[in-house]
Structures are given as C-alpha cells and as structure tokens.
A and B are shown apart, each in its own frame.
Chain A
Amino acid sequence: MILAAVEEGRLEPLDAVLKTMNRAAGMADPANSLVPFDQFDRLHVARFVILEANTGSDIKAYGVTPFRWPATLVFLGDCDGSADSFLAELVVRSGAGLRQIFSHCEGAPLDQDDLLDWLKQHNKKPAANYINWIGRTVVQVREEVALQKALSAHLRKLVDEIGAEDTRALRQRLLSYLEFEKQNGRITLTPAPRTPPGWYIRNLLHKFGVPLLLLVISPALLLAAPFLALRLRMLERSDPEIAPRPDRKSVYALAELEDHDITNQFSAFGDIKPGLFRRCAVLFFLWLLDYAARHIYKRGYLTRVQTIHFARWVILDDRRRLFFASNYDGSLEAYMDDFINKVGWGLNLVFSNGVGYPLTRWLIKDGAGREQEFKYYLRRHQLPTQVWYKAYPGKTAFELGRNSRIRYGVENRPDNDREIREWLGLL
C-alpha cells in the first residue's frame, strides 16, 4: 500500500484527476489513460482512496488532543506474485499517470527514474491481510470463467439433443467438446504456476513458528491473564461509545459509489484507543488474524463469511490509527448483516480497540451485536473510495470457487454417479 500526504490546497485538483479515471461514480474505467488497470494481468483489485481523519476529534472523549492527520492519498491493490516486481511493472506501464496523480502529494518525484524508489519508500506493509483463495491467480480466474461459460452453454445444447438422463454420456461429450475447444485455442487451462521454493519455506516456517512462539509465551500470558482481564473489564466499563447517526450527506456520497457491480469496496479509517493495553491488543489480534488468514482461512471462507475477496488492515501514524480496506460481494446492508450475525466476535476482537466502538463485554460480546450503533459506527468511519477496480466484474467470490470446482471435475474426472451428477449440477 502506497501512501503520501496530499499537499495543502491540492485536494480538490487531486479529486478531479482521480475522477477522470472513472466511468461511473467510483468505478474505474479499466482502460483509463492514467493507470490502465486492464493491462496488468495479475492485478485482482485496486483502489485510490484519500484518507481524511473525519472522526479524528472523537479521541477528545479521552481528554487527548487529536493528532494532526493531513489528507493522505493511498493506492493499494492485490496482485499475484511479488509486490516489488508488480511495482516495477506499474512504473513502466503507467509511470506518467502515477506521477501526475502523486504530483499532488508532498515530495512527489518529478522524474520517472525516481518513481520506483519513491513508491517503495512510501510503501506500508499491512498488519493483516486476507485473501479469499490463496494462490488463485487472475489468469486462472479468467480461464475458469471462460470454462464455465463454454461448458454451461454446451450442456444446454446437449440436453436438448440427447436429454438429461444419461449423465455419463453428457459428461463424456462435454469433455470431448472441451478437448476440441482447447485444441482450437478457444479455451486454455494454464497449470498453476509453481510456488517459488523460497516462499514455500518461509510459509512453512511461519506456519509452525507462530504457534511455537505462542507456546513459549503462553506461561507468561497465563500468568498475566487475570490482570489483563481485570484491566480489560475496567476499560470496557469506562470507554466511551461514540456512534451517532452519520450525517445524511456523507452517507449519500458513500452510497453513490456502491452497488454498481455485484462486488463493492469498503474503506474505513479511525483512531486506536489511547493507552498501551489497546495498542498491544490490536497488534496482537491482527497478528493472530494474519496468521489465520495465511494458514487457515485461505480456501474461500473467513470463518462463516464467504463473500470477501480481499481485505487488509494497516496500522498507521505511529500506531495511532487503523485503516481497513475490503472487497465484498453484495450490498453494505448485507455485509453488515454478516458482520453482526456471523463474525461479530471476530470484528470485536480487532475493532473494539478503536475509539468510539460500540460497547463490548469480555472483548467478544456485544459490540457489533449492538446493531444500530454498529451500523452507524461503520458508516461514520467509512471513507469514499475515489477509484476502485476489480479484474472480474460481475463475479462473486463464491462463483470463483464454484468455477474452480468445475475445473477440478474436468481434471480429476470422478467416476461415481453421484459425483458426476453433482458436477453437471454446477454448470
């Protein structure tokens, strides 16, 4: 994630430049001339968003003077492969556009040669990162969409011809058709790229290292637990809840950007509660979350939620603030419904460390369950995402998973009747 403070007085012109990249409110034109997203065939989603501390003065409720936060331009995306090589590619293909955009920011590079270094210097690593399906590349997504389309259409034809009863024959003819299409280059199923061994080893170390570390510190944690619990309950009783109804105009401005595609973007920004306890808590839970996302929730679901494509949590401003960005299927009302009814406890773990969050008990209870306050809190901390791009419009995370199951059936050809029926039912 690249971030840079916007120069005094340059916010409006920046906003105007960002708007030229869109073809509908907030929806990037994939072929826009500044950053032609569609030229990057390993970019899943990307966004430009201006971070402003709209709720920055809430912290006064703690008797703390708000820290200054200049409007800051953020660019983030999710790509296959290494982020560094993606940045390099970005500079090559859209250097001029990026320079024009970032020229509204402090210390922006005037020179193409300095751009890559500058971007790297302004890069900020997330505290936690969630990917719906680790390892599923943009190329794979697109090939599998084409596969599903071709097979579904052909199946309809076959059913008209030979009926629906003989499922083995149907499958056989579908597979032959697929072979034919592949030979004619109309369908490609590129084998998954090999995982670089370095990545594999690092991942393995992380996978076992973190639990090991937890094991090592667990006696200390156990000893400290009563004190931590006491401290937590004290804080939970005194922390102020700040969740007034958000102003109608800003809700309107946010809603204007939503529900053009079946997937929506969400960007939110707020202050972390003052004090060591809360700062440590947010870091600790994000660390666990990042671990869970990397090793456990990497196959289509984050606990009970199957609608999130990508999400990330970034701690900013000397651990005083948290930025959250996600890409989810459905409307915001449905997203909030999932939050409240399915993963309220998980949201509470992280976000209850944010200033003004709906009151929690024992870290996981209430919070998001305070439905109205939670919805207001979320909307009030949400920021308009000026430019948002998704490489496969019209497709939900669930569908991408289903398409992968279709492909799996093609490549593994199950032999029992039930599985064949199920496979045909996917089309």
Chain B
Amino acid sequence: MAGSSMNMVFDDIQGLARYAHGKLSATSFLLLDVADATAARAWLLSAPVTTAVPVSPLPETALQVAFTAAGLRALDVDDAIIEGFSDEFIVGIAADQSRSRRLGDTEGSAPGNWAWGGQAGDVPHLLLMLYAIPGKLDHWQTTVQGTDFEQAFRLRQELPTHSLGAIEPFGFVDGISQPDIDWEHKQTTNLHERDRYANLLVPGEVLLGYPNEYGRYTERPLIDPVDDPRASILPAAEDDPGVRDFGRNGSYLVLRQLHQEVPKFWQFVDREAGSDALERDRLASLMVGRQRDGTPLIPSSGDPVSNRFTFEHDPDGHQCPVGAHIRRSNPRNGDFPPGVTGLVSRLIRILGFGRNHPREDLVASTRFHRILRRGRTYGSLLTPEDAVKPGAPEEDRGLQFICLVANISRQFEFVQNAWSMNTKFAGVHDESDPLLGDRKPLVDGSATDGFAIPREEGPVHCLHGLPRFVTVRGGAYFFMPGIQALHYIAGQESVQRGAEA
C-alpha cells in the first residue's frame, strides 16, 4: 500500500478510527434493534456515515455506526462470515461467567445487574453514534434518520451523554494520552528493532486487514468472491489477494457504560486527606497518575500536560504510584527493560539475567496492548469542592467508555484483566485499579481494597478501605465496519466505487 493511496483508504475507514470528534461535543448514542431487515439495509446504504478523510473547514456533524454479532445476523449477514470474527465478538462481553470474572464484572457490576446488554438474548443490534457542534444535534438527528428510520429500527435506548468539556466526572482532564497511529508506516514491527517504548502504533492494532504489531494479520472474515459475487465490492485481502476482506478498515468497538459515584470518590479521598483541600487533590492525583489539569506526575519534557514520559526512572513508583490508573492502563514498557543496548546485553536479558530491579519483566510489553479511547461522559457536573459536602447528590454520572481495537482479547480484555483488575499488577500488594477496581477479596479472603503510595523515605503510605467507585451498567462488543463492508452489509449489489488497488 503506497503512501499516495492514503486518501483512498481513509475514505473506506469510519472517521472515529482517526478522529475523536472532540469539537462535536453534542452526542446521541442510540442502541437499536433491527425491526425490518430490508428497510434497515436500505437505510444503512444511504446513511451519511462519516469517513476518515480530512475535511476543511471542520465538519459540524458526524455519524458512525457499529454492529454486534446479533445485529449482523439480524441483517442477514451469512453465518460463515460472522464466524470469521473473533470468539469474543461472537460470544459477546457478557455471555459467560469466566469472561465476567476476568473483566471484574462481578457483584454490583455483574451483567445480571446491567441496565442493558447483560442478559443473553438482550444484546442490542447496532450502535448509532451521532455527533454535532452544540445546538446542531437535533437537526442532525432529523436529517440522519430521514423518513424510513422508524420502520427499519426499534429504538432500545438512547444512552445518556453529556459533555463536561475536557474533563471526566471525577474532575480530571481526560483523553490526553492516545497511541499515535502510524498511518505512514514509519516504524517497523521487527522484534529486533523494538526494544523501547514508543507511542507509535501500527494501524493493524486498530483496524483489521493490516499487519499488527507482530507483523501478522489479525483474524477476520475473508470471503471468496467466487462463492459470493457480491463480495467483489469489498477490498482484496492484503495477505491473500484472491479473497475479499470483510474486516478491512473496520475495527472492534468496545462500549461499557461505567457509572461513577463522584461524591463517594471525593468524600473518601477527603477523609483520607483530613479534609485538607491540597492534600485531597494530591491523593486523588496519585490515584490517577496525573493532576486534575492533566499534568503527569512524572516530569515530562515539553509543555506541562505533554505525554512524553515513561516510568523507566521511577521503578519503585515514588513519583507515580505503580498502581495508579494511567500506569496500569499503559505501563509504557518496551519489549525489553531499560538497559538493553546491544547484542550482548540483549542476549543476557533474553536468558533472564542482569535484572536491575526485581519487578522488571513482570509487566508485558505495552505495544501489544494499546487501546484507542473514544468515550464520552454523561451526567451533570459536580466539582470536587461540591462533591465533598455532606449530602452531595449521588446522581447518574459516568463514562460511556469506548475503545477501538483489532483484537479484543489481546487489547481491551488484557488491559482490563491483566492490568486494571489484577491485584498483583507489577508486584503491587493486593490492590486493583484505584478508580476501577472491583475490591473483591482474593480466594484466601485477603482484602484488595488498598492503594499503596510508595515513598522515597521508606515505608509505603497505604490507603485502606477503598470502596468501589465505578460500576458497570451495560456493555457490548461491536464491530465498526469499513465503508465498503457497510455497503456489503446493507446489501449493495454492484460495484459503484473503484476497486482498491
């Protein structure tokens, strides 16, 4: 794929894979079921879905669409095609207990208690995401839906969304750190040249149909156009040009409605801080790994909220606790611990010798476990100052957490399980993510509701009795197809676009 054909590719990718639509702060996320497959396909075929082609001036609206396995089935996509997706996608986020156990979706967060998506047979068919600049949403909604929308779909639910500007409900600036997608293929995936952490990520970790960080193609549905002539509208598979790639330019979309108890969070921190406002902010920032305004706790070169740092020089977590939310979500590790400079040191490390710190090697290399976050907040603003007041109202507030990945189990589920929920992450002692943790005791009864703040001076400062601040209210695994695949789903018959080279 040559650089010159870039725009051609971008017009087959849904815009969300490239842009967060940050300026379009008004959103409507609709969970829909297919009511009439024929009408639904016709509607989808003409839907003004936003692509990743840059436009100027910036657009005032956007539309993205994604499907669950049940949704593809309801639109009469062949079972053989659906079987080409990963098991996680086919089975779904909530269908088996072992997955729920791994994701920490237990007790209050167990699928049985979800408001949507938690019961078998209760998975929405599709997710329609409308974005607009403030004031333009209603009009955009009317335009998008057109006339036959009601006949085609049944509205299950409109998920609440409400922009709080740049911050999330606990009051921290969010959406700062994202992987840089390497659209220009600047960086190699060769294992021998990727010792250190880099923020560049190959497109194949977000989109199907491209080489992933292992330099290989993630599994996705491939269709032989001989069996199914309609598939000839799809792009050819890069690794097998004889067949068509239904997955190409598409992405898995993980959606989880995360309810945040803002007063509970700030009142807990306030108590631990002895009601000292500065100390309160300090403790909370240690839990997140950034200050409220986004400044990282590790000195970072460049502007104050920049993202150019790793934890290499803070192995004990004296500056940023090892268990902090951002350190768990992205430990910023390379394939090798720091100190590998040449062939010999590399060999020594491969054989397991020469460890500089006992914790080295406990945490996986990050590049195989990145996620592209695209969430939106909901609920009204409650500042920390108001949240600590007795009787501060506990309302519906939280995050419609969304991330895009090419491999759900290796990326989203791994981050959630091996990093966020893991009570032994990087050798921490029986604690899970201070924001997200489920606080479930271990099998031997050990509590996991602590949060350790390592100190240069010696003894760890440990917060105890963290309650669960975040509860899962719903969720599903979707597939956000490329534009041609969307047209295929919508039943398009003939080739209308130039086939991709």
Cross-chain contact B455 with A399 (CB below 8 angstroms): no
Question: Which partner residue on chain B sits nearest A261 by CB separation?
Answer: B443
Check A338/B91 contact, CB under 8 A, given A399-B424, A401-B358: no
In the complex, whether B78 has a CB less than 8 A from a CB of chain A is: no
In the complex, whether A252 has a CB less than 8 A from a CB of chain B is: yes
Question: Which partner residue on chain A sits nearest B316 by CB separation?
Answer: A425
Partner of A333, one of B410, B443, B455: B410
Chain A contacts for B212, CB-based, 8 A: 371
User: What's the Cα separation between A36 and B442 when bound, in Å?
Assistant: 22
A399-412: CB near B (< 8 Å → 1, else 0) gives 10110010000000
- What distance in Å separates the Cβ of B190 from its nearest Cβ neighbour in chain A? 11
Question: Which partner residue on chain B sits nearest A258 by CB separation?
Answer: B98
In the complex, whether A39 has a CB less than 8 A from a CB of chain B is: no
In the complex, whether A317 has a CB less than 8 A from a CB of chain B is: no
In the complex, whether B418 has a CB less than 8 A from a CB of chain A is: yes
Number of B residues near A (Cβ < 8 Å) is 54
Question: Which partner residue on chain B sits nearest A257 by CB separation?
Answer: B98
- What distance in Å separates the Cβ of B371 from its nearest Cβ neighbour in chain A? 15
In the complex, whether B218 has a CB less than 8 A from a CB of chain A is: yes
Check A259/B101 contact, CB under 8 A, given A252-B96, A337-B368, A427-B459: yes
A200-223: CB near B (< 8 Å → 1, else 0) gives 000000000000000000000000
B404-428: CB near A (< 8 Å → 1, else 0) gives 0000011001100110001110010
User: What's the Cα separation between A278 and B446 when bound, in Å?
Assistant: 47
Cross-chain contact B350 with A167 (CB below 8 angstroms): no
In the complex, whether B87 has a CB less than 8 A from a CB of chain A is: yes
Chain A contacts for B460, CB-based, 8 A: 425, 427
Check A394/B442 contact, CB under 8 A, given A338-B364, A369-B191: yes
Check A262/B442 contact, CB under 8 A, given A255-B99, A333-B417, A341-B365: yes
Q: Which A344-386 residues have C-beta < 8 A from chain B?
A: 345, 369-372
Q: Which A311-335 residues have C-beta < 8 A from chain B?
A: 329-331, 333-334
Chain B contacts for A87, CB-based, 8 A: none
Chain A contacts for B427, CB-based, 8 A: 398-399, 402
User: What's the Cα separation between A345 and B458 when bound, in Å?
Assistant: 39
Cross-chain contact A330 with B422 (CB below 8 angstroms): yes
Chain B contacts for A334, CB-based, 8 A: 364, 414, 417-418
Partner of B443, one of A165, A394, A398: A394
Check A424/B442 contact, CB under 8 A, given A304-B361, A333-B418, A341-B335: no
Check A371/B216 contact, CB under 8 A, given A330-B418, A333-B409: yes
The 6 A-B pairs with the shortest beta carbon distances in the complex, nearest first, are A394-B444, A394-B442, A255-B98, A303-B352, A424-B458, A421-B458
12 additional contacts (CB under 8 A) given A337-B414, A341-B335 = A155-B459, A164-B458, A165-B457, A170-B459, A251-B87, A255-B99, A258-B98, A333-B413, A337-B364, A341-B364, A393-B442, A425-B455
Residues of A within 8 A of B (CB): 27, 152, 155-156, 159, 164-165, 167, 170, 245, 248, 251-252, 255-256, 258-262, 297, 301-307, 329-331, 333-334, 337-338, 340-342, 345, 369-372, 392-396, 398-399, 401-402, 405, 420-421, 424-425, 427
Residues of B within 8 A of A (CB): 87, 90-91, 96-99, 101-102, 191, 212, 214, 216, 218-219, 316, 335, 349-352, 355, 358, 361-362, 364-365, 368, 409-410, 413-414, 417-418, 422-424, 427, 429-430, 442-446, 454-462
| Complex A-B: 30 CB contacts under 8 Å | A155-B459, A164-B457, A164-B461, A165-B457, A167-B457, A245-B87, A248-B90, A251-B87, A256-B96, A256-B97, A259-B98, A262-B423, A297-B352, A304-B352, A304-B361, A331-B418, A333-B413, A333-B417, A333-B418, A334-B364, A334-B417, A337-B364, A342-B361, A394-B430, A394-B444, A405-B358, A421-B457, A421-B458, A425-B454, A425-B460
